[in-house]
């Protein structure tokens, strides 16, 4: 993990794609962000006991990024910081910016997707737009259109601003407007994802920026993560399009 910032209350990291955030039954043979953070807490002699409830249970992990999503991730070092940051997320005062490459030409160039997201009853690994789902909003702005010079396929390079934090929200919302994310094995369709993965072996979704109020001082802080090399390399294969 690359540490972008840390003090006595929080640790901000740049998570690489391919690392799972929370420990689970399915992560027994891999080191998760939670494992890594627990080690940091213990090495820094910070009080860490089961009596601390959710902070202890989650190893200071305040929010999640999907395994194949890279970028900025907030971690708390104390129960007080953990509760404060969770409250900020709940009240939606923490602002997040993601970068993604989506299939097709998204029009209009700016908009908001406001549809409920829920876990699919027939496939527990996937989420979708469901009448009984949880309220979810995603705003977006297309920065540029690109074209694959080989097959002339058009893509949209998009800055995305989730207003809520549902699992797979951005991925599901972009699929809903018929512009799934490049290399998204769950939502782009099997044939499309297989073709994409010849060029990029991960979902093109990157948590580029997060803005928050410091849990102790109240100071406004922003942290940014540059697009990782594998995403930049894919972009370099494409040409700008009108």
Catalytic residues: 66
Residues near 239 by Cβ (< 8 Å), separated by ≥ 6? Answer: 146, 147, 149
Identify whether the C-beta of residue 183 lies closer than 8 Å to the C-beta of residue 201: yes
- Beta strands (DSSP E) in 21-173 are 70-76, 95-103, 110-114, 117-120, 123-129, 137-147, 154-162
Tokens of 98: 């993601």
| Cα four-point dihedral sign 14, 174, 143, 104 | positive
As beta bridge partners, residue 117 has 129, 134
Tokens of 154: 């058009």
């Amino acid at each position: 993990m690359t540490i972008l910032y840390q003090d006595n209350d929080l640790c901000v990291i740049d998570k690489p794609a391919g690392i799972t955030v929370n420990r689970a039954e399915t992560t027994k043979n891999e080191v998760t962000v939670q494992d890594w953070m627990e080690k940091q807490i213990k090495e820094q002699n910070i009080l860490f006991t089961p009596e601390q409830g959710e902070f202890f249970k989650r190893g200071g992990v305040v929010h999640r990024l999907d395994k194949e999503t890279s970028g900025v991730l907030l971690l708390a070092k104390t129960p007080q910081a953990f509760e404060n940051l969770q409250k900020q997320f709940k009240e939606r005062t923490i602002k997040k910016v993601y970068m993604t490459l989506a299939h097709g030409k998204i029009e209009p160039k700016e908009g908001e997707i406001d549809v409920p997201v829920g876990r699919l009853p027939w496939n527990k690994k996937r989420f979708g737009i469901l009448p009984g789902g949880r309220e979810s909003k995603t705003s977006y702005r297309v920065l540029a259109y690109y074209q694959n010079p080989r097959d002339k396929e058009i893509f949209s390079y998009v800055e995305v601003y989730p207003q809520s934090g549902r699992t797979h929200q951005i991925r599901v919302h972009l699929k809903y407007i018929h512009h799934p994310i490049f290399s998204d094995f769950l939502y782009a369709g099997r044939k499309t994802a297989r073709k994409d993965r010849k060029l990029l072996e991960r979902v093109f979704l990157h948590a580029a920026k997060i803005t928050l109020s410091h849990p102790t001082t109240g100071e406004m802080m922003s942290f940014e993560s540059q697009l990782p090399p594998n995403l930049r390399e894919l972009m370099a294969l494409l040409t700008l399009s009108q």
